[in-house]
């Protein structure tokens, strides 16, 4: 059975990814791309569907004889995972990563730290989501003199066009379907293993040089993350009204030191002296009398430095936490951007259920125009011009066709695959169906078209020039959009119910026309600005009359409707209304009243009428909640925004990764993992705080 979603860590080589559980099992791995058929699919099935387990034997046994616990973290600013296993008094460290030096490889290193630990090692190679068991051959290595070299042995699994090669300091034996072994690691010993995917008509890749690959991969991740330094990290202004005379900004450590000065210790010691005198004299003054146990406690207190937290120190600690979360989210985006095609995959997984046991199980190993456009905004803002260019060029290639046939979802190379297939897998905790492919690709979504044009407008504002392809494609999209005014769709949420005219979709058309008008009027581009301006004004009037409910005094999800959904929180993001516009504030109030969970997080929409084609309500949604947090901050409710951001960070896993939703009843992440749009939205919230 698969682990809880929050127990997984992502490994990435910027072309594909693997999920390794806290239990030491790699249960999901598609090769050579994110959207390829899975090599390890135990995440959506059982061990026989493919996995790679490396963990202390005591943790695998049904009844462990020793206490086993783990501590894990990424190396700073990387996706190099380090897990320390403690087995009684012994310990080992497992380092896992995907090299960025080329090829498709997972490397795992076991290093003995203290004592001796017996490791269990099991490799079940599969192809086609566990359906195909490869033919596995063991090849013995040879030395230059022709004698056997056990250290150069390897396993090769082959099936049709696919092949895997395993190299390691110890090569597991076993039946054709699963290789397994145990080995003992003592302090100072090290074992390295590598599994590489390759096309079966090619020769197997040579073994990875572990130290070289590790250093290069760490340097590449660190170099990428160092491109952006927030101004706040250099100088943090004090709160308005604070006494700034001669004061420098203090770190939490400096604040602690200030609160531990001798004067404070002397105060505690003086109180202790008074208590001591009373105890010795036998005074019956009840207000000051202490017993011997209390005396010892007071003595210990006097000997311990006193650290008094302040509101400022709490705020600085929170800000540091937000900056760290922003950096991890930026790294998640880089991990999910294909270095081969420049596409941003929405998630590394398919069919992880939004509700455990439910049917809201979709394939997110695709690229949404909306996600790419939003990602471009944050990558450029944070100094990542190369990735911004990759995303921009991917969009242009994907859109280089009939502008009236724009899709919301594309494959990683910009291909249009509207076929959705059912996979013969049990599903995550029995959640069916398990899908490959995304049938929403052929749906028109006004938000996708609008978001693309808004992002290109943002690029112009930041000095990015148009080229021979970018502006002609935008003009074609704008001219095609004139025929989309008032058109029904299934919203950005891609509901399975009946289409409607969604306020958010029309608002994104408004933003598209507004961007086109600005391009001509403000930047001298050629185009029919008069027509686009007329269309913009028509859409605005429609939204304010039909997408706004006079009785409720707020914007609503659909023209003429009475319900609200989280997409309305994007209206001020695109400039349709101000963040503090009374109509927007009323919409926020309506959202709080109707789709807010008791925790403070919000749902995407109210599904009590099953209008999305599924029965029941899904779980609170990370992205929607972060949009609400940004709305709070930008409309003057910073404390509420911070509280909501804290809640989201508390719900993320221990490595700072988010799925799409959170189940508060069972305190679990749900939905595909990790989710790019959630991390984009988190970055925006931290930006709103000015950090």
Average per-residue pLDDT for the chain: 87
What are residue 566's phi and psi, to 5 degrees? -70, -20
**What's the CA gap between 40 and 481, in Å, rounded?**
43
Digit-coded pLDDT (tens) for 100-143? 988 999 999 999 999 999 999 999 999 999 999 999 999 987 66
Assess whether pLDDT exceeds 90 at residue 230: no
Question: How many helices (H) and strands (E) are present in the chain, helices listed first?
Answer: 16, 24
Ranked by mean pLDDT, which of 162-176, 401-415, 419-433, 619-633 comes out on top? 619-633
Mean pLDDT of 646-657: 98
The rounded percent of the chain whose pLDDT value lies above 70 is 85
**What's the CA gap between 192 and 324, in Å, rounded?**
31
pLDDT for residue 173: 86
Spatial contact of 441 and 417, defined as CB atoms under 8 Å apart: yes
The residue ranking higher by pLDDT, 672 or 310, is 672
What are residue 295's phi and psi, to 5 degrees? -60, -45
Mean pLDDT of 408-428: 89
**What's the CA gap between 510 and 450, in Å, rounded?**
8
pLDDT for residue 438: 82
Q: Specify the range with the lowest mean pLDDT, choosing from 236-240, 266-270, 282-286, 487-491.
A: 236-240
Alpha carbon 270 to its chain's center: 53
pLDDT for residue 61: 79
Spatial contact of 450 and 60, defined as CB atoms under 8 Å apart: no
pLDDT for residue 405: 79
β-partners of residue 186 are: 116
Residues 6+ apart with CB under 8 A from 186: 112, 115, 116
Alpha carbon 409 to its chain's center: 19
The residue ranking higher by pLDDT, 247 or 415, is 415
Mean pLDDT of 386-401: 93
Q: Specify the range with the lowest mean pLDDT, choosing from 262-266, 436-440, 499-503.
A: 262-266
Spatial contact of 113 and 173, defined as CB atoms under 8 Å apart: no
* Residue 217 burial (10 A CB sphere; 0-12, 13-18, 19+): buried
Mean pLDDT of 27-39: 97
Assess whether pLDDT exceeds 70 at residue 507: yes
The residue ranking higher by pLDDT, 280 or 411, is 411
Assess whether pLDDT exceeds 70 at residue 550: yes
pLDDT for residue 284: 35
Assess whether pLDDT exceeds 50 at residue 606: yes
Confidence of residue 147 (pLDDT cuts 50, 70, 90): low
**What's the CA gap between 95 and 85, in Å, rounded?**
11
**What's the CA gap between 427 and 617, in Å, rounded?**
20
**What's the CA gap between 115 and 146, in Å, rounded?**
37
**What's the CA gap between 6 and 23, in Å, rounded?**
12
pLDDT for residue 247: 32
Q: Is 184 helix (H, G, I), strand (E, B) or coil?
A: strand
Mean pLDDT of 157-174: 93
Cβ count within 10 A of residue 57: 19
pLDDT for residue 66: 72
pLDDT for residue 200: 96
pLDDT for residue 439: 73
Mean pLDDT of 642-660: 98
For residue 477, give Cα distances in angstroms to 40, 389, 449, 502, 656: 41, 20, 7, 20, 38
Confidence of residue 420 (pLDDT cuts 50, 70, 90): confident
Assess whether pLDDT exceeds 50 at residue 655: yes
The residue ranking higher by pLDDT, 256 or 497, is 497
Q: Specify the range with the lowest mean pLDDT, choosing from 223-232, 291-300, 317-326, 613-622.
A: 291-300
Helix or strand holding residue 421 (H, E): strand 421-422
Digit-coded pLDDT (tens) for 178-188? 889 999 999 99
Confidence of residue 348 (pLDDT cuts 50, 70, 90): very high
Residues 6+ apart with CB under 8 A from 191: 109, 110, 119, 168, 169, 170, 183, 185
């Amino acid at each position: 059975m698969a682990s809880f979603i929050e127990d997984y860590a992502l490994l990435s080589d910027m072309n594909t990814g693997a999920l390794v559980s806290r239990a030491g099992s790699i249960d999901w791995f598609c090769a050579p791309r994110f959207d390829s058929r899975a090599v390890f699919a135990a995440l959506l099935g059982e061990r026989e569907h493919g996995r790679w387990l490396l963990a202390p034997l005591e943790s695998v046994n049904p009844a462990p004889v020793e206490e086993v616990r783990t501590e894990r973290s990424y190396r700073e600013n990387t996706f190099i995972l380090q897990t320390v296993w403690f087995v009684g008094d012994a310990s080992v460290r497992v380092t896992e990563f995907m090299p960025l030096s080329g090829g498709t490889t997972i490397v795992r290193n076991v290093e003995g730290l203290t004592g001796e630990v017996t490791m269990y090692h099991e490799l079940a190679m599969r192809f086609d989501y566990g359906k195909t068991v490869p033919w596995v051959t063991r090849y013995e290595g040879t030395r230059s003199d022709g004698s056997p070299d056990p250290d150069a042995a390897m396993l090769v699994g082959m099936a049709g066009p696919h092949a895997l090669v395993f190299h390691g300091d110890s090569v597991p034996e076993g039946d054709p379907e699963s290789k397994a072994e145990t080995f003992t690691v003592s302090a100072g010993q090290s074992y390295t293993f590598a599994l590489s995917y390759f096309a079966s008509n090619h020769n197997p890749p040579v073994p990875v040089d572990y130290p070289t690959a590790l250093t290069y991969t760490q340097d590449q991740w660190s170099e990428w993350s160092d491109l952006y330094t927030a101004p706040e990290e250099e100088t943090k202004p004090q709160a308005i009204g604070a006494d700034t005379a001669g004061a420098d900004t203090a770190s939490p450590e400096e604040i602690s030191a200030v609160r531990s000065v001798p004067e404070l210790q002397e105060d505690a010691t003086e109180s202790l002296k008074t208590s001591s005198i009373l105890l010795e004299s036998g005074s019956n003054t009840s207000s000051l009398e202490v017993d011997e146990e209390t005396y010892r406690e007071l003595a210990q207190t006097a000997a311990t430095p006193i650290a008094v937290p302040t509101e400022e120190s709490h705020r600085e600690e929170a800000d540091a936490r937000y900056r760290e979360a922003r950096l991890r989210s930026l790294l998640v985006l880089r991990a999910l951007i294909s270095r081969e095609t420049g596409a941003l995959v929405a998630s590394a997984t398919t069919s992880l259920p939004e509700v455990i046991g439910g049917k809201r199980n979709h394939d997110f190993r695709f690229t949404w125009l909306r996600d790419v456009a939003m990602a471009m905004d944050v990558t450029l803002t944070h100094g990542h011009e190369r990735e911004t260019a990759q995303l921009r060029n991917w969009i242009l290639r994907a859109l280089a066709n009939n502008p009236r046939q724009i899709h919301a979802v594309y494959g990683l190379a910009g291909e249009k695959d509207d076929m959705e297939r059912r996979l013969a897998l049990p599903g995550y905790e029995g959640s069916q169906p398990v899908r490959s492919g995304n049938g929403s690709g052929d749906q028109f979504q006004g938000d996708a078209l609008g978001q693309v044009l808004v992002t290109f407008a943002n690029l112009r504002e930041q000095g990015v020039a148009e080229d021979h392809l970018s502006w002609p494609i935008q003009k074609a999209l704008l001219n095609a959009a004139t025929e989309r005014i008032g058109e029904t769709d299934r919203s950005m949420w891609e509901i399975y119910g009946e289409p409607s005219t969604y306020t958010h979709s029309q608002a994104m058309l408004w933003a598209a026309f507004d961007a086109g008008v600005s391009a001509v009027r403000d930047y001298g581009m050629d185009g029919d600005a008069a027509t686009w301006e007329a269309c913009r004004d028509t859409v605005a009037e429609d939204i304010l009359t039909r997408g706004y409910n006079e009785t409720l005094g707020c914007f609503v999800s659909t023209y003429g409707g009475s319900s609200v959904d989280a997409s309305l929180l994007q209206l001020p993001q695109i400039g349709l209304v101000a963040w503090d516009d009374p109509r927007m504030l009323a919409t926020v109030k309506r959202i709080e009243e109707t789709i807010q969970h008791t925790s403070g997080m919000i749902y995407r929409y109210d599904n009590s009428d099953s209008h999305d084609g599924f029965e029941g309500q899904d779980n609170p949604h990370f992205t929607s909640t972060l949009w609400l947090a940004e709305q709070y901050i930008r409309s003057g409710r910073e404390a509420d925004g911070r509280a909501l951001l804290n809640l989201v960070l508390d719900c993320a896993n221990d490595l700072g990764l988010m799925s799409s939703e959170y189940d508060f009843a069972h305190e679990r992440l749900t939905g595909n993992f990790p989710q790019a749009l959630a991390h984009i939205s988190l970055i925006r919230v931290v930006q709103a705080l000015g950090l």
